[in-house]
Amino acid sequence: MTDHMEHHHDAESQPTKDHTRQYVSIFVLLGIITLAEVGVFYVDALQSLLVPLILGLSAIKFLLVVMYYMHLKADHKVLTLFFAVGAVMAITMFVIVPWIVIWQYA
């Protein structure tokens, strides 16, 4: 019995190339950004900038996972388009809609 499995590759993928170092580097970067977020949370002097800093750092983590772990950076652009439409609608719902509602009741 063989220990190798049947697999089909997309035209864009490079199955034999080892990306382990890149994946671990991204993980370390994600960890550092998470620690930075928690640091911002605990530092009193940064409380006025808490919302933009947390949203900005979260956006960087989001993009790192989507581009490198989900392979959108190297994958077909149509997939990026589909996901971008969903992401933009999500951002509209959790950033713009709450802002409008809170502004109306302020």
Partner 1 sequence: MSTYPLPQQEALEQPTTAPTTGAAVHPEPNTGIDSKKLGMWVFLASECMLFGSLLGTYIVYVGQSVSGPLPQDLFNIPLTTLFTFVLLSSSLTVVLADQAAKQGNIRKMRFWLGATVALGLSFLGFQVFEYSHFMAEGLFLRTNLFGSTFYVLTGFHGVHVSIGVIWFSSLLISSLRKNRRAVSATNVELAGLYWHFVDIVWIVVFGVVYLMADI
Gap between the Cα atoms of 48 and 32, Å rounded: 22
* Token code pair at residue 5: 């499995």
32 counts as binding partner 1 under rule CB under 8 A: no
Segment 70 to 99, residues that bind partner 1, using CB under 8 A? 70, 76, 78-79, 82-83, 85-87, 89-95, 97-98
7 counts as binding partner 1 under rule CB under 8 A: yes
21 counts as binding partner 1 under rule CB under 8 A: no
65 counts as binding partner 1 under rule CB under 8 A: yes
Gap between the Cα atoms of 78 and 80, Å rounded: 5
Distance of closest approach, residue 6 Cβ to partner 1, in angstroms: 5
Alpha helix positions (H), the chain: 20-42, 50-64, 77-91, 97-105
The number of CA neighbours under 13 Å toward the Cβ of 86 is 5
Determine the 3-state secondary structure of 5 from DSSP: coil
Q: Which residues lie near partner 1 (CB under 8 A)?
A: 1, 3-11, 13, 15-16, 18-20, 23-24, 26-27, 30-31, 34-35, 37-38, 40-41, 47, 50-51, 54-55, 57-58, 61-62, 65-66, 69-70, 76, 78-79, 82-83, 85-87, 89-95, 97-98, 101-102
